[in-house]
Structure 1
Amino acid sequence: MHTLRGPRVLLALKTALAVSLAWGVAQRMPGTIDEYPYYAPLGALSAMYPTVLGSVRTGLQTVAGLALGILLAAGVLLVGSPNLVTIGLAVGIGVLLSGVRRLGAGAEYVPMAALFVLIVGGQDAGSYSLGYLVQMAVGVAIGLVVNVAVFPPLDFRTARLQLDRLQGVVVDYLGDVAGELASPGSTAGRDWAQRNHELARLTGEVREAVDASALSARGNPRVVLRRRARGTDPGYAALAQLERVVFHLRDLTDALRALYDADRHGWTVPGPVAAGLADAVEAGARCVRAWAHDEDTAAPAAEVRALLGRLYAGPVDPSEVQQRLVLAAGQDLQRLVDVLDPPAP
């Protein structure tokens, strides 16, 4: 039921209002312009976008695309009257021009405007072009005014929910890793590899949500009020930390996967080492959970460092590949914790 969510319902109501206002204004335009009132509602519709900046960009691109298409049709009319050849030529050139990236949403209007001027405008192409362009521009302007004046969309909640989701996944993942360490060799590494891919995909989705929230704030008058109340960071600060946490978590599990890869070697991780790593990873999960809940991370971070210190103090020989992997896993976990609780200089 995504279509019935609050922001979508609000956008639908605002679009209906903008189209109605555009239709009313279009019928009161001076001169021959009022002969083409149906284009004003279309302009209002094209300018309605979920974000203020998106509305401005889309509206301006639409008018620019129309103007370019009209100019193209005018150039064709200078060559000759509308016929099979000139109409096809205009549309072909319009399709080529629509490939200009800067036109954005207005790209599709280039060949369409040229076609309408040549076929619908016909012998009265000048008046038609003027009415077409002015009515569309009026509709776009009305759409922009409505979108800015009536509850301009500002959505930080979606980004916050996505960040919470990623934080929960990281905590659960660390808990699972600790459980697997308590029973060495139970996964053979394949599940961890898949979960690493899913973690990377989810991180990308969260960044998209935060980017969308930031976009909704650009040019939005509600940001001034929010800045005074709760700030305007859509979540980039928390996302930056989470991305670093995910990076070290993936490195940690890569080291553990290599350590427990039974297909490549016959290593056996000593019980005390596995148990020490499991306790440290579990403490790391508590550190992430505390950070996600805006609680003090100092205590769980100190516990992780103490557990790793005891692990390093044991009989670890860095010259052996197996023991280097143990050290690498511990270092990745410590870097993860350092992101959330930076050590004192």
Structure 2
Amino acid sequence: MTHYLDFEKPLAEIEGKAEELRAMARAGEGVDVEDEAAGLDKKAATMLRDLYKDLTPWRKCQVARHPERPHCGAYIRALFTEYTPLAGDRNFADDHAVMGGLARLNDRPVMVIGHEKGNDTKSRIEHNFGMARPEGYRKAIRLMEMADKFGLPVITLIDTPGAYPGKGAEERGQSEAIARSTEKCLQIGVPLISAVIGEGGSGGAVAFATANRVAMLEHSVYSVISPEGCASILWKDAEKMREAAEALRLTAQDLIKLGIADRIIDEPMGGAHRAPGQAIENVGKALGEMLKELDGKSPKALISDRRRKFLDMGAKGLAA
């Protein structure tokens, strides 16, 4: 059963009616409904284009969080071969909110690291809804160090509402772990590319996305805080999340203008959840192109370019 977002309810009615008609035909009720169903399909396609033609920032947040949107595991299974998962931070535990390991992209050896949210209740609890604990960031540091040692490009897939804010995480040094992971991104002398495939929330995302190239899916979001959190702080009212989403300038289109993101990856009409295979293919193509852009650069040049990219962000943002 398709999950429809609030603003998609009119579309749900039309697509639901078309499916009802086809179910009647399959049940052998002797009614020829194909012409009527086809007419409804055409009407639904037009409505889908209209709904997604100019999404508001808040609606983009909803699409980025869609439960049927492909997550990190789906991208790894589809795009990477010979994936060998590596677990644990060699200190405390293995954080299932962060997955990563050795793999090949287009037959090129790489290290892939990403946030995994899970796809159903059981897996979402197992992966802590993509909210990493300190051991998750320390695992990422370990994998980046390994990649640097063996000269492997690092690819990170970002999809997290933010780092886990629980008591245990704070006791184990959450902020320090995030800072060390961000620092490690800036230190490694291999290409580092990132793709925001859903939510890019706060320091929990920056810790993986301090990269030479940052791409964002068309309806993904990337911000310092969630719209609900921002609204709670500024207006003491989480229901003002629509106004907060506007003010945060968190869409891929905004972040290209601000110099935070380097490219936008097209999504299928209606969002990545409507055609996951096509969305994943588009991301794979963008990852390959970004790696090619960095081919031939020395470790020193990669580090220098990465640092300069982030030092320049404030100035470009003020100019915009």
Pairwise same-fold verdict (TM > 0.5): no
- Higher share in strand: 2
Higher relative contact order (CA 8 A, sep 6+): 1
TM-score where L is the length of structure 1: 0.25
Find the structure with the greater CA-based Rg.
1
- Higher share in helix: 1
